[in-house]
Structure formats: structure tokens, C-alpha cells
Amino acid sequence: MTRTRTDIAKLGGPWSETMVWYARAVGELRTRAFDQPTAWTYLAAIHGVDFQGWLNQNILPPNPPIPQEARRIFNQCQHAGWFFLPWHRGYLHAFEAILGDWIASQGGPGDWALPYWNYLNTNDPNARDIPSEFVDATFDGGTTNPLSQATRGPATTLGPQAWIPVDISLNAQTETIYTSDPGTLGYGGPISGFAQQGNAFGGNESDPHNLVHVMVGGDNSPSPQGWMFDPNFAALDPLFWVHHCNIDRLWAAWMTSAAHSQETSRPWRNGPFPRQFTMPDANGNLNVFIPSETLPGEALAPTYDDLVDGTGIPPAASGGPAMVSAAPPTAGPSRLIGVNDQSLTVTGTQVRSRLAMSAAPTQTLGAVGGQQRVFLNVEGVKGQSASGVVNVTLTAPGADPGDAGPEATKTLVFFGLANATSVEGPHGGSGLSQIVDITEIATRLMSDGQVDALDAHLAQPEGGGAELTVDRISIYIREEP
């Protein structure tokens, strides 16, 4: 039996058979106790759980039964590292199998598959709207709709807003390398260990993954943010799963290009150690999986109805992706060329920091997706908000950022900020880093040759949240191989 995942917009909805069964299954799983491996709350806690927060929001009843394997199975989600994509693929597979098993047992389609929200499909004018099945109050002849039973922000469509002035895009699909060298952007993220919130985001995770989470979940401040805003609540929202299904599809599409280099080194293929990725099956048994099982042709590889619409990837050329192993992190071709001189506190008021440049990029900087590129790193960002947004404007030393023009500003989104800041949790408290391509900005600022310094101006956008701190700002260049 093959489960083929399909675009919600192509299912003939609203309330196609696939979506009706999804809603019924979510409703069923929500009736199960927290310590049952097939319960809605158990499955969401595998991604991340703020136990006290769940109690405060009555997501869990007082004194819920805690599964004995809680420390092993909960808080597993892999973010800001190279396991982001394979871990979430295994997670979706387990979720889909559990729902599919119940749906089949109720007389539903035996090949039921998780649908995806194809929000970047330019052929669909309504693609960015939250699908109506996740908004309707009732379904199935008046039954309360479990798919809309979630705390969300006010946005009903994806796109720039005053507090997050940046749009989702398919820019990541042009990245050619899965694993980034230090300080540079790759498709899948930098080398990492088992890290619920690792160090730096990969291209796919940064945009559109993080942006969709934050756009859907914020901004309800100062009241509790929507669930999608926080990794410890996100998987409670049924929308999470169709969002991640699309993120996974983008990876599947990316891997069809012969121009792309998928990671296959032993440390990636075998996964982290000693804590390994573990998922429940439909019978409640716990099984370990490793990233190599998520690659095309392997047991956890999904099937999609289409890998072209809304993926930015042309129809597959023969041959598929190149499968390569990452270079050791210390031997990568990336090079640090600038670093600032101080840690910063960032609020709604702009703060400036000067970067001393040790070298200028060469005159032959490439366009996005090319081999010679410049990257801005905003590192060690910490804060108490579940996620954070920061605008960074780069100028020549002493220049007024107001004169720089909008193209000189990058908006960075830090999904899972509070998790990454906590020293009491599974991250360790080193904060998050965001890497963004500034090749065009650097080309313009350095067009006259060697520069000794650049100024970075940082502020939270309009209506910015709680104070953030930034350990370091740096600039890296990725040289030609």
C-alpha cells in the first residue's frame, strides 16, 4: 500500500474525504490519555512540551499520567542543525501511520495520507490562505471541528506584517549544498548533534519553515502567543502537520535535482548518539530510526502527488541528486572576514555595532545560489520570547541606516528562542544563530575595494517583543571550491 500525499487545494474540497478523515482522526486522538503513545498530546510532546505551560492552558488535565519513557521520547524535535529535515520526516511518517491505522479501522480509506499546505504555489491565488478546513468551526454536519481547535495569531494568510516585515519564499530551493560550512548557508543546516534547538538554521528551515510558524502563531502579545509560535506547543495545532508535510515535500523536490548535493556522510546517515530518534508506531511500540532511512527509496521516504508546483524545482532531470559527504567543519572553504566588537541588547530602538573587516570579498561575487557568496551571521541570540524577530541593516561606517534603502535590511526570525536560551532544558542555553545571504549588499558596500569596517544596525520591528541579546555579528565568505 502506498500513501500518496496530496495538495489540500487539489483534493476537491473544502472538506474532501481526506480532510474529513483527518479531522475525525485528530478528534479521536485528542480523547486519548497523555501516556498513550498514539494520543494527540503524546505525539505533540514528542516535538516539544512545556509541561507547566500545557497545564496552564488546560491542554493537559491536572496531574496527568506521565509515560515512563517521557525523558526518552519527548522534546526530540531537531532544529537549527542538519537533522532538522530527516527527523521531521520520520516524525511525519509515524504520525501518518498512526492516523492511517485508525482511519482504516473505522472504514476509511486504507491508503489515507497526510495532505500538505502548498502555500508557495503561484498557480493558486489562495495558496497562502490558511485552508478553510482549519478555520471552520464545525464539520461533518455540525460536529465541532478539531482542526480549528488551536490557539493561533490573528493572521489568516501568510505574508509580511508590521511585526514581521518579510515574506516567505523559495530562495532555499536554490541552495545547492545540503550541509553548510561554518558561517554559511546550506539547504539542510550545519553539522549538529542531537539538538532540540541547535546552533544555526539551514535554508529550508529558515525560510519558509520558521516564517510560516511565526506568521501563523504570532502576534498575540502580550497574551500567550499562538501554538505555532513555540516549538513546545506547535505540534498541538493540526495545521503544524500539513505545514511540515509541505516542508518535507520541498526537501523531496530539492533532492530530485542533479545539481544539488544531498548529505550522506556517516555521522549524518547514522544519526546522533547516544540519544537517538525514536517514534511510536500504531501499536504503541517505540522504534529507533536513523536519517539514512529517510532518503529516497528507503523505508521512511514519502510519496507525493507532485514535486513541481510550489517547489521552485523544475521537473526532475534524470539522475537525481548527488549524494555527498560533508567536509569536516574545520576544513570547509568558508572564511571569516568580519566580526563585531561587542555583545548587544536589542529592543525596538535601533542599536549599532561596528564590524571590523579583515578582508574584503573578491570582485567576482556571485548571485544567490552561486559559489562565491557573502553571509551575515547573527550569533548567540537569546531572549525570553518563544520566538523573536530582528531587523538588521548593513551600512558603511557612520552612515545613516535611514538612507540605506529597504534592500539593505534583512529580517531574521528566531523560532524557538526561549528554548534555545534556557539552561534548564535540552539545548544548554547558547541561543540561536541566523545566517543570511548578503552577497548583493556586500557587493554594493565593497564595490570600491577593501573596506576596514561595516556598521550593523539592529532593532526589533514595530511592536517588537521582549528584549533580545546578541553575542556576536560576523561576516563569512564562501570561496570557490
Partner 1 sequence: MGRFAAFTAQLSSSTLPYLFALSGAAYLALILLPQGGAIAELCGTLTVSDLGRLLLTAPWLVSPGQLAFDWGVMVVAMMTPLIAPLLSHARRSVTAERRWAATIAFLGAYWAVWWASFLMIFPLAIALTTVTGDDAGFPAALLIAMIYSASPAAQRARNACHVRLRIGAHVFQDSARQGFFTGLRCIAACWPWMLVPLTVVTGHTALMAVIAFYLFADRITPPAQPGWQIPPAFETLFGPTAWRAGSFGAKTAR
Q: Least distance from C-beta 383 to partner 1, angstroms?
A: 12
Q: Least distance from C-beta 220 to partner 1, angstroms?
A: 11
Q: Least distance from C-beta 49 to partner 1, angstroms?
A: 8
- Our CB check for partner 1 shows the closer of 299 and 367 to be 299
- Our CB check for partner 1 shows the closer of 41 and 409 to be 41
- Our CB check for partner 1 shows the closer of 103 and 378 to be 378
Q: Least distance from C-beta 124 to partner 1, angstroms?
A: 34
- Our CB check for partner 1 shows the closer of 86 and 183 to be 183
- Our CB check for partner 1 shows the closer of 3 and 335 to be 335
Q: Least distance from C-beta 414 to partner 1, angstroms?
A: 15
What gap in Å lies between CA 275 and CA 393, rounded to an integer? 40
Q: Least distance from C-beta 321 to partner 1, angstroms?
A: 21
- Our CB check for partner 1 shows the closer of 61 and 159 to be 61
In the complex, the residues that contact partner 1 under the rule CB under 8 A are: 49-53, 55-56, 66, 68-72, 74, 182-183, 191, 193-196, 199, 224-225, 230, 232, 265-267, 269-276, 278, 288, 290, 328-330, 335-337, 339-343, 356, 358, 379-380, 386, 418, 422-430, 471-472, 474
- Our CB check for partner 1 shows the closer of 107 and 274 to be 274
- Our CB check for partner 1 shows the closer of 270 and 364 to be 270
Q: Least distance from C-beta 292 to partner 1, angstroms?
A: 9
Q: Least distance from C-beta 51 to partner 1, angstroms?
A: 5
- Our CB check for partner 1 shows the closer of 115 and 226 to be 226
Q: Least distance from C-beta 85 to partner 1, angstroms?
A: 18
Per-residue three-class SS string for the chain: CCCEECEHHHCCCCCCHHHHHHHHHHHHHCCCCCCCCCCHHHHHHHHCCCHHHHHHCCCCCCCCCCCCCHHHHCCCCCCCCCCHHHHHHHHHHHHHHHHHHHHHHCCCCCCCCCCECCCCCCCCCCCCECCHHHCCCEECCCEECHHHCCCCCCCCECCCECCECCCCCCHHHHCCECEECCCCCCCCEECCCCCCCCCECCHHHHHHHHHHHHHHHCCCCCCCCCHHHCCCCHHHCHHHHHHHHHHHHHHHHHCCCCCCEEECCHHHHHCCCCCCEEEECCCCCEEEECHHHHCCCCCCCCEECCCCCCCCCCCCCCCCCEEECCCCHHHCCEEEEEEECCCEEECCCCEEEEEEECCCCCCCCCCCCCCCEEEEEEEEEEECCCEEEEEEEEECCCCCHHHCCHHHEEEEEEECHHHHHCCCCCCCCCCEEEEEECHHHHHHHCCCCCCCEEEEEEECCCCCCCCEEECEEEEEEECCC
